[in-house]
Amino acid sequence: MSVWSQILFQESASPIMQLLSLFHDYTLSIIVFIVIFVMGVSLSMISNRFISDFPVVTMVEVVWTVVPIIILFMVVVPSLQILYFMEENDSYLTLKVTGHQWYWSYELADVDLEFDSYMLGSHQLGEYRLLDVDHRVVLPINKELRALITSGDVLHCWSLPSLSVKADAVPGRLNQVYFNILRSSLIYGQCSEICGANHSFMPISVEGLSLGQFLGWCNADTPDV
């Protein structure tokens, strides 16, 4: 069943996604103000009151030159701050992600762990159809994490909207992203690059656990859902 909250971003699960959500609301409020102002000016001009109220054309030209510059600074400063926070950090753990037609392979070299992740079939449906996988990626929360993303065949895209992560998996190339999971959570994503006939059947499932639970998962014989 559709709900109104589905028109908004997914619930933020990382500090960067929280900043991006706030930035979205902030810029949207600026856009709404601009639209209302321009509509008001347009209606005044149509009713011929604008010219009589503002006989000094020079002042009008100054205003419509200076105000956009101020608005640009209001948008640029917070966006540059977010870009700075998204840059390279000292990571606690590195996850290597490899896209295949049509599944994902994961490697945690720091804990000597490697496995494939396939979508659950219709006969073993999980919590969400077309999103659950047989082997989830388990990662520690409140730690700086790095993902190295590549592909073994064609273009794929490792996308987790609630973590503000979206990077192309390109054959012969490593793309690098950083993220931090805020709390224990189960995060879903999908390949967002059209990679072939079964493009929509290679979901991503990441589970954030406490450090102790993560180490226990790493010591298990086989990564489990």
Q: What is the mean pLDDT of the chain?
A: 85
Q: What percent of the chain has pLDDT over 90?
A: 43
Look at residue 225 and tell me if it is in a domain: no
11 or 188, greater pLDDT: 188
CA 83/CA 164 separation, integer angstroms? 12
Q: Are 101 and 198 in contact (CB under 8 A)?
A: yes
Residue 160: exposed, middle, or buried by beta-carbon count in 10 A (0-12, 13-18, 19+)?
A: buried
Look at residue 5 and tell me if it is in a domain: no
In the predicted structure, residue 5 carries a pLDDT above the cut 90: no
pLDDT range class, residue 30, cuts 50, 70, 90: very high
Q: Give the pLDDT confidence score for residue 225 in this predicted structure.
A: 47
Residues 208 and 98 in one domain: yes
Q: Give the pLDDT confidence score for residue 97 in this predicted structure.
A: 95
pTM summary value: 0.79
In the predicted structure, residue 215 carries a pLDDT above the cut 50: yes
In the predicted structure, residue 222 carries a pLDDT above the cut 80: no
Q: What percent of the chain has pLDDT over 70?
A: 88
Q: Give the pLDDT confidence score for residue 90 in this predicted structure.
A: 82
Residues 106 and 162 in one domain: yes
Look at residue 203 and tell me if it is in a domain: yes
CA 127/CA 18 separation, integer angstroms? 25
Domain of residue 23 covers: 15-87
Look at residue 75 and tell me if it is in a domain: yes
In the predicted structure, residue 100 carries a pLDDT above the cut 90: yes
Residues 140 and 200 in one domain: yes
From residue 89, give the alpha-carbon distance in Å to each of 4, 166, 176. Answer: 36, 17, 11
Residues 103 and 81 in one domain: no
Q: Give the pLDDT confidence score for residue 125 in this predicted structure.
A: 64
Mean pLDDT of the region 44-55: 60
Residues 206 and 145 in one domain: yes
Q: Which of 185, 180, 153, 182 is nearest to 169 (CA)?
A: 153
Least confident of 5-9, 31-35, 47-51: 47-51
- Please state the three-class secondary structure of 115-151 as a single string: EEECECCHHHCCCCCCCCECCCEEEECCCCEEEEEEE
Q: Give the pLDDT confidence score for residue 205 in this predicted structure.
A: 93
Residues 158 and 55 in one domain: no
Angle (nearest 5°) at CA 150 between 99 and 105: 40
CA 63/CA 85 separation, integer angstroms? 34
CA 165/CA 198 separation, integer angstroms? 22
Q: Give the pLDDT confidence score for residue 63 in this predicted structure.
A: 78
Q: Give the pLDDT confidence score for residue 49 in this predicted structure.
A: 55
From residue 184, give the alpha-carbon distance in Å to each of 14, 180, 207. Answer: 11, 11, 7
